[in-house]
Structure 1
């Protein structure tokens, strides 16, 4: 069991609440405790969430063999991250077509989502994503980064 705390100020524009909802959608929640708080910056709600780690960074529920069901990345990623994710999927599709292999053999959606969350696509940042090893990085990672950065 793990614990994560979210503080949602009364002045929240919806961004903090959306982040908490994305987190909740990606893990098995055991208990949620909420309390109102007041401090020098104002007030808000504090949520203490006890959960079981699904082994997928608590934001993505795609496991091996698809046993956890299909993930809707439009709900998991922010709007800007999803735009990056969509473009990366297009590049992945082209790379897979060139090699005559299925798209998931290039990168799985979970790896693309990890790339989409990066502030900037660099070789070192992409290589640090779980599941992307030296071979995959050498064969597809560098090309993926070059094609994406060429368009940005």
Structure 2
């Protein structure tokens, strides 16, 4: 683990911020700590960046194929998939996470085609292990079952 310090004056014209952002984009960042420091001569933001040295940033291939799940799934499974996406969004919001950290679209499609959606059955879906099923699966199943009893 390495550290790099950045100082950005509050009156910065954008150059110091761009230098820091360029560094952040090109390194595997572990943590960023920030603090506003005020002196008689002005205020500055101080950033301490913890990063991995020599770590390669994995860039998504520009020619990655997007899957249209409406074409891949049958009508019933797509309806379940759409509902699961709404539930995933709610869970992600509750935990302040990006939706893909809860379940990916591919995982949701796998869940949507299950004959029965339970915490145990979703563990069979590629990419969903015990920890993910434990952390998010119960809430997903509970929300899903609740919508099934309402409708």
The two structures share one fold, judged by TM-score above 0.5: yes
In 2, Cα distance between equivalents of 1:123 and 1:105: 17
In 2, Cα distance between equivalents of 1:65 and 1:112: 20
How many residues align? The count is 89
Aligned to 2:90: 94
Aligned to 2:120: 124
> Are 1:108 and 2:104 matched, yes or no?
yes
- Structure 1: 4+ residue segments shifted above 2 A: 64-68
Q: Which SS does the other structure have where 1:128 is aligned? A: coil
TM-score normalized with structure 2 length: 0.56
Displacement of 1:134 after TM fit? 1.2
65 and 137 in structure 1: CA distance in 2 versus 1, 3 angstrom threshold: farther
**Superimposed CA distance per residue, residues 19-44 of structure 1 (whole angstroms, 9 cap, x where no aligned partner):** xxxxxxxxxxxxxxxxxxxxxxxxxx
Unaligned 5+ runs, structure 2: 1-58
Q: Which SS does the other structure have where 1:69 is aligned? A: coil
Q: Which SS does the other structure have where 1:90 is aligned? A: helix
> Are 1:75 and 2:77 matched, yes or no?
no
Unaligned 5+ runs, structure 1: 1-63
**Mapping of 1:30-41 within 5 angstroms?**
none
In 2, Cα distance between equivalents of 1:110 and 1:125: 16
Displacement of 1:139 after TM fit? 0.7
**Superimposed CA distance per residue, residues 77-114 of structure 1 (whole angstroms, 9 cap, x where no aligned partner):** 00000000000000000110111111000000000000
**Mapping of 1:129-148 within 5 angstroms?**
129-148=125-144
